[in-house]
Amino acid sequence: MTVDFEELSFRETPFGELILRRRTEVSLGVEVYEVKLGDEFLMSSLFTGSEVALARLALERLAAPCPDVVVGGLGLGYTAKAVLAHERVRSLLVVEALKDVIDWHRAGLVPLGAELTSDPRCRFVNADFFALVDSEGMDSTSPGRRFDAILVDIDHSPRHLLHPQHAMLYTREGLVRVARHLRPGGVFGLWSNDPPDAAFQAELGRVFEDSEACVVKFPNPLLGTEAACTVYIGMSSALSSMSGHI
């Protein structure tokens, strides 16, 4: 017998109740995985185009032949999968603050779990991405290591945060700290559920050599309409680290 609705995991976290559930979307005849945190829906396997676009838009701007990539925020894993789909990617470090989310993947509770955990290029790290940005290095096994791309999909937008402590990242100072973890020619990518934010885009342009706000459109199969999000891209100079571009 098909189960139309099932709660797969429930945990209390510092951010609120974390819930993973699976349901059947009868109107489309598909199985849907959803994640809620507190009163808000964080993600759904029904809408993954923007997470994939985050990886695509960032990696297509990279000149590095074998890039090392960081993804901040694991979620259901669609950005991580899109990164690993690029065969030239040498390594992927996925930073996730909620251990339960990592456990979902390792236990096979979510569709992409087996694929991500079996790829030798991919490593999960249970840590606060924002704290790592402020640290000397994002990889504890290799202090001072820098990366070719850092992609972030954690908050809803630069203005709509999951926690007030995240606000620093979206300032000039926070972006400079991110840039210090990039190699010359590296790329910073950020997902946002809101339309382009002129103030944040200006800060991005002050820190990175080149920057842009890409509006990504994707279908909403439930409503039969088109939805949109924003992917911000910051590209550092190929000649030097952007830690000095302020």
The whole-number pLDDT of residue 241 equals: 46
Range of lowest pLDDT (9-13, 87-91, 196-200, 210-214): 9-13
Alpha carbon distance 26, 105 (integer Å):
25
Alpha carbon distance 184, 167 (integer Å):
26
The whole-number pLDDT of residue 95 equals: 98
Mean of the pLDDT values across residues 193-207? Answer: 97
Mean of the pLDDT values across residues 198-213? Answer: 97
Structural domain boundaries in the chain: 47-244
Of 223, 138, 136, the C-alpha closest to 188 is: 138
Tokens of 222: 């439930």
Taking only the tens place, the pLDDT of each residue in 137-195 is 999 999 899 999 999 999 999 999 989 999 999 999 999 999 999 999 999 999 999 99
Alpha carbon distance 82, 78 (integer Å):
6
CA end-to-end distance (rounded Å), the chain: 60
Q: Is the pLDDT of residue 84 over 90?
A: yes
Position of tokens 């456990």?
103
CATH of domain 47-244: 3.40.50.150
CB 179 within 8 A of CB 241: yes
Tokens of 147: 């990366």
Residue 36 CB burial class (10 angstroms; 0-12, 13-18, ≥19): middle
The whole-number pLDDT of residue 238 equals: 78
CB 2 within 8 A of CB 23: no
Mean pLDDT of the chain: 92
The whole-number pLDDT of residue 26 equals: 82
